[in-house]
Amino acid sequence: MKNLTVNSAFGQLLTTQSVAGSGSAAATSRFDVAGAETVTILLALGEVDAATTITFKLTQSDAASSGNTKDIDGAALASVVTAGKNSLYAITVNANQLDATNGYRYVGASYTITNTKNVLMSVVAISSRLRSAPPASSGLAQNVLVTH
Map the chain to HEC letters. Answer: CEECCCCEEEEEEEEEEEEECCCCEEECCCEECCCCCEEEEEEEECCECCCCCEEEEEEEECCCCCCCEEEEEEEEEEEECCECCCEEEEEEEEHHHCCHHHCCCEEEEEEEECCCCEEEEEEEEEEECCCCCCCCCCCCCCCCEECC
Report pLDDT for 144.
36
Q: Which of these, 109, 83, 77, lies nearest to 12 by C-alpha position? A: 109
| pLDDT, position 147 | 30
Q: Which amino acid is at 70?
A: K
Nearest to 56 by CA among 48, 68, 65: 48
pLDDT tens, residue by residue, 102-146: 999 999 999 988 887 888 899 999 998 776 554 444 443 333 333
Identify the pLDDT of residue 78: 75
Secondary structure (H, E, C), 14-33 = EEEEEEECCCCEEECCCEEC
Please report the pLDDT score of residue 131 as a whole number. Answer: 66
pLDDT at 1 over 60: no
Report pLDDT for 137. 44
How high is the pLDDT of residue 2?
59
CATH 2.60.40.10, applies to 19-130: no
Domain extents for the chain? 19-130
Whole-model pTM: value is 0.81
Does residue 42 surpass a pLDDT of 90? yes
Residue 74 has pLDDT above 70, yes or no: yes
